[in-house]
Every structure is written in structure tokens, then in C-alpha cells.
Chains A and B, each alone.
Chain A
Amino acid sequence: MSSVLFFIAAIGAIAGAIGVITLENPFYSVLALVGHLISLAALFLLLRAEFVAAAQVVVYAGAVMVLYTFVVSYVGGDSAQARIGEPIGRPPGATMTLAAWACGGALVIELCIAVLGSGLKAISTHGAAYSPTFGSPQQIGDLLLTRFLAPFEIASYLLLIAAVGAVVLARRRGGVDDDDGTGVPVITAMDIFRPRPQGTGTMAEGVGGRVRIAGVAGQAPVVEPAAPARVAEPVGVPGRASEPAGVPGGESEGLDA
């Protein structure tokens, strides 16, 4: 029975992996990876690692893959890129693809030789005698909080640093001063403390909209002073050039608070 389950899960895992690298659309690649991860969780269960299998399904197939799905829908795949006319690089030629497959084949042969020829006698057995506490959450928690306390704490710091780094990398840069003349926004560490123009860093701006402070034409703007304000306007914002200069009460796109 366990052999049947093993082969089903192993074939699922390998098919998912092949699907990840062969499907054209990155969205389908992500879905294939979800199938791969769930098959892998079944393999973990066959190896009596219940807690890791549950964490695999919840954390990996649940959370991380949702993150992937969001980014793929935001960025778009190869086809979306071709549609909007951005440059797509030439695909790797047939020779390169063949060479890559040859490298992969050589790697699997080498790994199999290394693993199966290693002289470890226990590899051909079914593993050590099974005790009911093996792989249980209790054992994992015991180990994490006693023997492996330092790796546990370091991992939490690593997660914190990665979260901060992702926010810094992916945040909106349009509203920050770009006074260096090149038009490319420059980010320094001091930007964290500098007051921003109102409305920057919001999701509305992220999709290209700007915050309109004064709604109705003909009325005085609520926030913006009558004189045209000096705003740090990013390059290439539509609608700025066509706006009559210095007309108070026009529908203002100024951002100064």
C-alpha cells in the first residue's frame, strides 16, 4: 500500500516539476508548482514527517503560492509583455536548450551515483524503527526550543529583514524627489524621514491614479494654496502639461499638504 502511495506521489511531484519548467504561461507554472508541493507533502507523510507535511501545505502551497499568484497577475507573463510591445529577448536557441537538458541529465546521473553509491547501508532499508513520537509537533517544538534555539531565533530575524527589504524594494518611488537631473528617482535612507507629498505610496497611485485634493472646478482648492505650489512632480505624469498654469481653482493635481 505504501509503495502504491509512494509511486503516485512521486509521479505527481515529478510531473509538477516538469510542468513548472515547460509551461509557457507563468501562471500555469505556479499552478503546477502547487500540485508539486502537495505531492511532496504526501511524500513527507510517507516519511512520517507529519508536522513538516502540514507546514508544507499551509505555508508553501498556501501562503507563498498566493504571493506568487499575486505577483504573476500584477506583472503578467511573457504573452502580456509581447502584447504591450516591450522588448522580449530572443529565446534560447535549440542548441542551448539541448545543452541545458544534457546538463540536467548529467546532474541527475551524478546525484544518483553519489547517493546510491555512497556506501550508506541504511539507504536500502526502510529507515530506523518507528516510534510514535517521531515527527510529531511535540518533538519538533522540543527540538526547536532547546537544541535548535539559535537557528530558530536567527530564522525569525531573517524573516523580519526579508519583509522590510521587500517593502523597500517594491514600494512606489514616484513621489520622491528626483532632483538629480536624470529623471530617475533616487532613493536614500533619509527618504524614510522626509515628509512625502500627500497621496504617494498609496494603492491608488500604484495603479496610475493621482489623489485629487480639490474636487469641483470653480471652487477654491481645499488644501492647495492659490499660487501654484512647488511640488515634486515625477517625470511623465499625464495631465500635468495640459493644465493651465497658475489658474487658481482649477482641478488641481497638486499634492502638497
Chain B
Amino acid sequence: MSIGWYLVVSALIFSIGAGGVLIRRNPLVILLCLELMLNAANLALIGFSRMWGNGDGQIFALIVMVVAACEVTVGLGVIVAMHRLRLPMNVDEIRELQG
């Protein structure tokens, strides 16, 4: 398959992730949708890496995976703290940056 097909799949996954951030209100699912978008970017990076026959894109994808892991860790920490403070699990109701 040519590289363009992979890029189209990557664009589809990214759009699904972006739509998920817009329609879901649970912060856990929003984190999952962020993962979807980062993975779509990874797919595009690796596709381009294959296109040029160059390993740099794969390094970039690995760094993106590290960043995604950090984001997940901190995001899940925030969610656990929200649960401890009995805040509602709804991003529409959590608008104030206190406590």
C-alpha cells in the first residue's frame, strides 16, 4: 500500500479522537481520546519515516509515546484527586481552577 493510505487512516483516527473530545464529558474518556490523537500522529510520523527511508521519524514517534505516558500519568493523578474531593466527573462542571 502506498504511504497516502496510511496518512488517510491517520487523519481518520485523529478526527475521531478530536470528535470524541468534543462529544464526551467524562475526563477519563477525554484522556483516551487524547491518546487516539497522539497515536494518529505517531502513525503519520512512522509513515513519513518509511517514505524517506530515514529513522528520524521513528525516534520522534518514540518521544511522542514518552510524552503521552507522562500526560496519562498526570491526568490520571488529577482524576484520582477529583474523585477524592468528590467532584463530579464532568468537565462541563469543573470550570474553576481551585482545589
Indicate, yes or no, whether A interacts with B. Answer: yes
Task: Tell me the A residues contacting B by CB distance below 8 Å.
Answer: 2-3, 6, 10, 13-14, 17-18, 20-21, 26, 29-30, 33, 36-37, 40, 43-44, 46-49, 51-52, 55-56, 59-60, 63-64, 67-68, 71-72, 74-75, 77-78, 81, 86-89, 91-92, 96-97, 99-101, 103-105, 107-108, 111-112, 115-116, 120, 122-131, 134-135, 139-140, 143-144, 147-148, 151, 155, 158-159, 161-163, 165-170, 172-173, 184
Q: B17–A116 contact, CB under 8 A?
A: no
Q: Are A20 and B28 in contact (CB under 8 A)?
A: no
Q: Is there an interface contact between B58 and A140, defined as CB atoms closer than 8 Å?
A: yes
Q: Say whether A81 contacts B13, CB under 8 Å.
A: no
**Complex Cα distance A48/B6, Å?**
13
Complex Cα spacing A26 to B27, Å: 10
24 contacts between A and B (CB under 8 A): A10-B9, A20-B20, A21-B16, A21-B33, A43-B9, A43-B43, A47-B47, A49-B50, A52-B61, A52-B62, A60-B65, A68-B32, A75-B28, A100-B22, A104-B16, A107-B14, A107-B15, A112-B8, A123-B2, A123-B7, A123-B51, A131-B53, A143-B59, A162-B74
Measured between beta carbons, the chain A residues less than 8 angstroms from B77 are: 165-170
* Contact present for A134 and B53 (CB under 8 Å): yes
Known: A6-B5, A144-B59. A111 touches B14 (CB 8 A): yes
Query: A-contacting residues of B (Cβ < 8 Å)?
Result: 1-9, 11-20, 22-26, 28-29, 31-33, 35-36, 39, 42-44, 46-47, 49-56, 58-59, 61-63, 65-74, 76-81, 83-84, 86, 88-90, 92-93, 99
**A125-B2 CB under 8 A given contacts A134-B53, A151-B59, A158-B66:** yes
Are B81's CB and A170's CB within 8 A? yes
Known: A68-B72, A127-B53, A143-B59. A104 touches B25 (CB 8 A): no
The CA of A151 and the CA of B44, in the complex, are separated in Å by 20
CB contacts (< 8 Å) of A36 on chain B: these are 13, 36, 39
| Closest Cβ neighbor of A87 among chain B residues | B88
Extra contacts, 5 of them, besides A20-B29, A100-B19 (Cβ < 8 A), are A48-B50, A105-B15, A108-B15, A148-B63, A158-B67
Measured in the bound complex, the distance between the Cα atoms of B20 and A97 in whole Å is 10
What CA separation (Å) do A100 and B20 show in the bound complex? 8
Cβ-closest chain B residue relative to A148: B59
Closest residue on chain A to residue B22 by CB atoms = A100
Contact pick for B88, options A88, A129, A148, CB 8 Å: A88
Q: Nearest chain B CB to A60's CB is how many angstroms away?
A: 7
Residues of chain A within 8 A (CB-CB) of B16 are 14, 17-18, 20-21, 104
Contact across chains for A115 and B8 when beta carbons are under 8 A apart: yes
Which residues of A sit under 8 angstroms from B6, Cβ to Cβ?
A: 6, 43, 47
Q: Which residues of B contact A130 (CB under 8 A)?
A: 53
Q: How far is the CB of A116 from the nearest CB of chain B, in Å?
A: 6
Contact A184 B99 (CB under 8 A): yes
Complex alpha-carbon distance, A21 and B31, angstroms: 11
A92 to B86, CA, bound (A): 22
The CA-CA distance from A53 to B86 in the complex, in Å, is 39
Q: How far is the CB of B68 from chain A (nearest CB, A)?
A: 8
B3 engages A33 (CB within 8 Å): no
